[in-house]
Structure 1
């Protein structure tokens, strides 16, 4: 009997953690040679009766945010209601309730089921290798290619992140056509922190995925402001999000108890372009902010 793609993906020999950390050429070859088969395996997995993966729907978003975003897409002049939901909590850093914490179990159940699918997923290794994370965007090797997840992810980036970024950071317009994302998990007994850095993005959106009652200690994000030399450590509550220019220095402080799970999502221009520092923002209409870009994915992945 001929094996289906799901069976083949589950049986394939995988690169070692050491090989991934060392960026051995064989690792990239592994992902590229098997990319079509893995994509088919994810499609088969979603269709299997035992997948246990719930459907990802718009009800996951915070009701106030979802309603305001829907209204702005219907009539961009109503975008002020979206803007009002984002509070500046540090110079150039904004926070909101992004996902409904009562509904986050649906997303977490999906991600847990995907992790147990036994289909190879590439963890995010840029500055470090995070064992509990996965690449989310089609431009990345070994990404989470399940069709249902990709539909949800694309909607998050196009319908939510990009227009919000254009409202809060007008200089990113034209440097926001490309998407990139990964999930990350901090654990007190495994991957605990990430040193100070900037992102290779025009804008970074960091969304917490912890459930209500899923507490942790430590693991704040410390931000640094060049102009004022202000330093502040910000913390996540379930379903909350922070958004900022990628050029804002920040670090993930050590987690001392429990686990913290997040999506980290980036926008940037073609071939990794980001706005020049102190660039004058472009004057655009509300309608232009609430518009999908025409540029196609250029396939460039920062890591």
Structure 2
């Protein structure tokens, strides 16, 4: 009887210790054929003689080998968090007020899985390198503003601050004619109680606008990254805030927020540290008078109108249409229009409210692609209904630890100095 030895393991050297055993089997059982599998198990293959004395080898059913392969796939999937996350069906978003706790238990339950999925997706993105670099530089940020901001970081003086202030337009007129820099440069002895109160009221109503805060290229690059997160990752994301239902929650510390230490997170950290925080302190020194007041930030995107991708949309256009009058949960808010230059829309104008006791003034205006608005979170605002198209925005809120938002003002002697405003304290 012919005896065959089939060795199918790639690690041949590892099989050398088994050769004596195999020789023994050949001697003891000369009428049996054996095969060595890749799992290092010796399997007996029965032989039968046909009528013409030919040897017929009866092997195991091939389905058993397929079962092992399927089991390996199952085991792999247990560690493929991205596959698991994409199979999740998130709860629908419905509330247009107080929606920050909507389905909170579901997002908490799946938080660990989602964070692992974001990390895995980020690793895939790094290998593919399909997205353009996202950096806080003069290519993405207006060159003039970028230059003056970093010059002020090098030389934090009132003159350099004033150079930055002149680039911003005050779009919600205050109740007095004093400018912000007049307040910061006047000697303390010239201040009386009425003047301080008047200036506190002035700061409370100021809204500043910067055209082309983001360059057209900056808007495009930022949208590329955000759209990839939204449409390519396939990972469920939580609603951005209590009132907006459509957009991205970009805070990885909140269950359901975009995680994974993506380039967008590094971009936001630097943008807040180098631009938003010192600008907020500089424009609103009466209210940002302590380094703990704005130590944390919360960032998100919002979308008004239909993008054609959202199967969970609950309005006729697929997205939110308007935003009721409200105040933000922040001490400082920065709002940037992320529409591409060719993405037009009608309606959806923003309005801000100035409340002077018996008189309530509402100012409405549009802001174009790349334009930024800077204001106190307590300044009430909203948006009128969208008529056509789509509007996209990036919003950054500054606040203290654990969501603390200070609303009372600081006395002149308590406020940060210009050097403290432009420092990492």
TM-score bracket, shorter-length normalisation: 0.7 to 0.9
> Could you list the runs of 5+ residues in structure 1 that have no partner in the other structure?
294-303
TM-score by length of 1: 0.87
- Preserved CA contact (<8 Å) 1:95 1:240: yes
Farther off after superposition, 155-164 or 6-15: 6-15
The change in CA–CA distance for 1:217 and 1:24 in structure 2 (over 3 A counts) is: closer
2:167 alignment partner, one of 85, 109, 113 = 85
Shift of 1:274: 2.8
Aligned match of 2:249 = 135
Farther off after superposition, 202-211 or 56-65: 56-65
Aligned match of 2:234 = 118
Farther off after superposition, 181-190 or 271-280: 271-280
TM-score by length of 2: 0.63
Shift of 1:278: 4.9
1:56 alignment partner, one of 129, 134, 138 = 134
Deviations 1:201-231 (A, max 9, x none): 1111111101112111111111111126332
The change in CA–CA distance for 1:29 and 1:154 in structure 2 (over 3 A counts) is: same
Aligned match of 2:394 = 263
The change in CA–CA distance for 1:105 and 1:25 in structure 2 (over 3 A counts) is: closer
The change in CA–CA distance for 1:47 and 1:138 in structure 2 (over 3 A counts) is: closer
- Preserved CA contact (<8 Å) 2:303 2:393: yes
Aligned match of 1:47 = 123
1:13 alignment partner, one of 70, 76, 89 = 89
**Distance in 1 between residues matched to 2:347 and 2:277, nearest whole Å:** 30
Shift of 1:21: 8.5
1:252 alignment partner, one of 358, 373, 383 = 383
The change in CA–CA distance for 1:27 and 1:50 in structure 2 (over 3 A counts) is: farther
3-state SS, counterpart of residue 216 of structure 2: coil
**Distance in 2 between residues matched to 1:289 and 1:154, nearest whole Å:** 17
**Which is greater in Rg?**
2
3-state SS, counterpart of residue 84 of structure 2: helix
Q: Which runs of 4+ in 1 moved over 6 A?
A: 19-26
**Distance in 2 between residues matched to 1:83 and 1:24, nearest whole Å:** 35
3-state SS, counterpart of residue 76 of structure 1: coil
- Preserved CA contact (<8 Å) 1:46 1:53: no
The change in CA–CA distance for 1:24 and 1:284 in structure 2 (over 3 A counts) is: closer
How many pairs are equivalent? 291
Aligned match of 2:147 = 67
Farther off after superposition, 162-171 or 246-255: 246-255
Which structure would you say has the larger RCO, counting Cα contacts within 8 Å and 6 or more residues apart? 1
- Preserved CA contact (<8 Å) 2:289 2:415: no
The change in CA–CA distance for 1:102 and 1:287 in structure 2 (over 3 A counts) is: same
Aligned match of 1:155 = 270
Structural mapping, 1:1-303, within 5 Å: 1=73, 2-3=76-77, 4-18=80-94, 27-48=103-124, 49=127, 52-58=130-136, 59-77=139-157, 78-91=160-173, 92-96=206-210, 97-116=212-231, 117-127=233-243, 129-131=244-246, 133-147=247-261, 148-170=263-285, 171-174=287-290, 175-187=293-305, 189=317, 190-227=319-356, 229-280=360-411, 282-293=414-425
Shift of 1:23: 6.3
Aligned match of 1:298 = none
The change in CA–CA distance for 1:19 and 1:167 in structure 2 (over 3 A counts) is: closer
- Preserved CA contact (<8 Å) 1:135 1:141: no
3-state SS, counterpart of residue 135 of structure 1: coil
- Preserved CA contact (<8 Å) 1:52 1:113: no
- Preserved CA contact (<8 Å) 1:5 1:37: yes
3-state SS, counterpart of residue 299 of structure 2: strand
